[in-house]
């Protein structure tokens, strides 16, 4: 295989760390012999565990000498929970290193320069866009410190409705899309919904697929009045699944107290921006917002969305169905931003589109 195909393989391997390595990056590595054979594979599988490069190089053994190391992130150059990968790369006798993205972490960067200084050929940037999309949550942490990475996930009808006229949304999407969502949640620090969705659907918002997240996502309900009923499962299970309610500054004290007594972490914020900043300070680096339409619309209107996981299902719900986005200001075509398609794939009869704001 050529270097590009090896990078594609390394990106696939990196996904195996999803749900297990965050807040560290997903990383995959492949050792490519001079005649284009894959002689070693590795991936970062567990937070704090071994890095992809030493695993791939160990698998390659003597065949790493004179070979090319293809890796999705620049090899680290610092002693953290693991020794610097640059040491391991140098010791293995690799001739060339190809990485997709430079390491944004100021503590760990400088790997490429060190390796080049030791006479290795180093190239950075192969499949950079794909690698940046894969590690968007990790990269966001260094680019934007005010708020978490915010992704939307919605299952909609063909006419972009998230529930029928009676408010019923179970189930718009099919089983494989729902299985995908359990996998997706496992890689986020928190899963959020609007207050009305919490009341109408009482969703569990947990990751219940085969992938068991290292740290289960916390739940966040955006509910200005904080008058969620304590009979909701979401509230009753707050002792088992950490649950946050983001209320407005003028929510009634009695409501706040009632939820706090039920084990909910109640916070008050003056705006969506302040609420998101607060979540970030609470250690939430990534938030998956699963509706409803009013919360989603408010986030979009304020330009607070980084990614949209759109599950499009082959059915129509009509004009009285609940719109997927509410109250988003109109924009002329000439001035609107075109989002970038990161992924497009079939999930059973549904279609997944993953789109990033530019
Ligand atoms: N198919 C799907 O993927 C899917 C996903 C989720 C929900 N749903 C369906 O969608 C329906 C509910 O959606 P919805 O649009 O009616 O409601 P929603 O977005 O779930 O709830 C609106 C909530 O967000 C709060 N909110 C709105 N703007 C805010 C802001 N700027 N800052 C803080 N909080 C804000 C509102 O508070 P106030 O009302 O106090 O202002 C309200 O509690 C349900 O029928 C549900 O079944 C479908």
DSSP assignment of 173-239: S-HHHHHHHHHHHTT-SEEEEEHHHHHHH-------SSS--SSPPEEEEE-TT----TTSHHHHTTT
- Find out whether 354 and 343 touch, Cβ atoms under 8 Å: yes
Nearest residue by C-alpha to atom 1 in ligand 1: 162
Q: What pLDDT, on the 0 to 100 scale, is given for residue 82?
A: 84
DSSP code for 61: G
Q: What is the pLDDT of residues 268-303, one digit of tens each?
A: 999 999 999 999 999 999 999 999 999 999 999 999
* Residue 102 Cα to ligand 1 middle (Å): 39
Tokens of 114: 């060190």
pLDDT cut 70: percent of the chain above it: 100
Q: Which atom of ligand 1 is nearest to the CA of 156?
A: 1
User: What is the Å distance from ligand 1's center to 196 Cα?
Assistant: 5
290 alpha carbon – ligand 1 mean position (Å): 9
Radius of gyration in angstroms for the set of CA atoms belonging to the chain, rounded to a whole number: 22
Closest C-alpha among 187, 233, 183 to residue 208: 183
My answer on whether omega of the bond before 172 falls inside 30° of 0, hence cis, is no
- For ligand 1, atom 42, name the residue with the nearest CA: 195
pLDDT tens digits for 162-210?
999 999 999 999 999 999 999 999 999 999 999 999 999 999 999 999 9
Does residue 343 have an active-site annotation?
Answer: no
326 CA from centroid of ligand 1 (Å): 9
Closest protein CA for atom 40 of ligand 1: 224
- Three-point CA angle 104, 132, 187, nearest 5°: 95
Which residue among 3, 12, 46, 53 is the active-site one? 53
| Ligand 1 closest atom vs CA 324 | 15
- Do 126 and 100 contact (CB within 8 A), yes or no? yes
pLDDT tens digits for range 98-150? 999 999 988 888 999 999 999 999 999 999 999 999 999 999 999 998 999 99
Task: Give the pLDDT confidence of 216-259 residue by residue, as tens digits.
Answer: 999 999 999 999 999 999 999 999 999 999 999 999 999 999 99
Model pLDDT for residues 324-358, shown as the tens digit of each residue: 999 999 999 999 989 999 999 999 999 999 999 98
């Amino acid at each position: 295989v050529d270097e590009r195909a090896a990078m594609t393989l390394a990106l696939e391997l990196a996904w195996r760390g999803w749900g297990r390595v965050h807040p560290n990056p997903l990383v995959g590595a492949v050792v490519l012999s001079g005649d284009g054979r894959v002689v070693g594979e590795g991936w970062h599988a567990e937070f704090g565990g071994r890095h992809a490069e030493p695993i791939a190089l160990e698998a390659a053994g003597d065949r790493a000498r004179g070979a090319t190391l293809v890796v999705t992130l620049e090899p680290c150059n610092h002693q953290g929970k693991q020794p610097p990968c640059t040491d391991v790369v140098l010791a293995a006798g690799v001739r060339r290193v190809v990485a997709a993205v430079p390491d944004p972490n100021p503590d760990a960067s400088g790997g490429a320069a060190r390796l080049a200084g030791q006479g290795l050929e180093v190239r950075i940037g192969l499949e950079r866009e794909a690698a940046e999309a894969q590690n968007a949550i990790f990269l966001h942490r260094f680019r934007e410190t005010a708020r978490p990475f915010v992704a939307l996930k919605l299952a909609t009808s063909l006419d972009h409705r998230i529930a029928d006229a009676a408010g019923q949304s179970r189930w718009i999407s099919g089983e494989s899309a729902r299985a995908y969502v359990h996998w997706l949640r496992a890689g986020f620090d928190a899963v959020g919904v609007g207050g009305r969705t919490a009341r109408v659907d009482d969703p569990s918002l947990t990751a219940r697929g085969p992938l068991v997240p290292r740290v289960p996502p916390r739940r966040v309900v955006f509910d200005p009045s904080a008058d969620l009923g304590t009979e909701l499962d979401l509230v009753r299970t707050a002792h088992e699944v950490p649950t946050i309610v983001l209320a407005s500054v003028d929510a009634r004290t009695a409501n706040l107290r009632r939820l706090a007594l039920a084990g909910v972490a109640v916070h008050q914020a003056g705006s969506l921006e302040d609420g998101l900043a607060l979540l970030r300070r609470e250690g939430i680096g990534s938030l998956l917002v699963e509706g409803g339409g009013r919360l989603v619309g408010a986030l979009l209107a304020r330009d607070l969305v980084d990614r949209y996981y759109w599950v499009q299902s082959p059915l129509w719900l009509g004009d009285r169905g609940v719109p997927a986005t509410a109250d988003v200001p109109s924009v002329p075509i000439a001035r609107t931003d075109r989002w970038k398609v990161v992924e497009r794939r079939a999930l059973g009869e549904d279609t997944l589109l993953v789109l990033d704001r530019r």
